[in-house]
Structure 1
Amino acid sequence: MANKLAVIKTGEQIITKVEEMLLDDKVVGYFFIKPCVVKTSEPIVNKESGGASFDIKLAPWIPLGKGTRFPVPLDWIVTFIDPVDELASMYMNDVLKETEETQEKTIVIPEEDS
């Protein structure tokens, strides 16, 4: 599954990479990979345009948890939706980019003259 915005029973909105948790070919839950809670400020209304804007902050969902993959039972998921482009970009660039750079980094060791 792709990056999704999950709403769970507590009302928290969590942006995460999602994998299905299967038992005998039946989905029993999901694994959240590198999940972050989405926190927003109060909307600031622009009187001229009538539009609203707000600040978005991402915080680790379980900051003291070991690892980056967390199981979530199916009955705790309210819904999954696609995040708005700005949020998806923020998550990919600020949270997932570190992992991709680490995985793709190539180290070249120069040969020593004998």
Structure 2
Amino acid sequence: MTLVRFCRADGTLDKEVQADPGQRLLDVAWAAREPLEGACEGVMACSTCHVLVDAADFAKLPPASEEEEDMLDLAAHAARTSRLACQILLTEEMESLTVRIPPSAANWMGR
């Protein structure tokens, strides 16, 4: 199990949830009712699941693909540790993962 911490835009903790290895972070966020839209449903055709990964956890992730980097160029409030939640797969090795939801995040699709 991986402990996933979702933080608000100001960095304060919103909630902590347990997730299984192999789950996509986007699916975990939807189940936790976090305001990530994921309008393309995880096919990397948008940037509405953009999250800011905690700097200490960023190194735990494999590098973003060129396609993901291109989508992140379109994301509001992008930073050095930005990733798309649809591209983050939780692994056995990840004991925890902390992400911050950008201030512009909204889930207009009601997931």
TM-score normalized by structure 2? 0.22
Tell me which of the two structures has the higher relative contact order, counting C-alpha pairs closer than 8 angstroms and 6 or more residues apart.
2
TM-score normalized by structure 1? 0.22
Higher strand share: 1
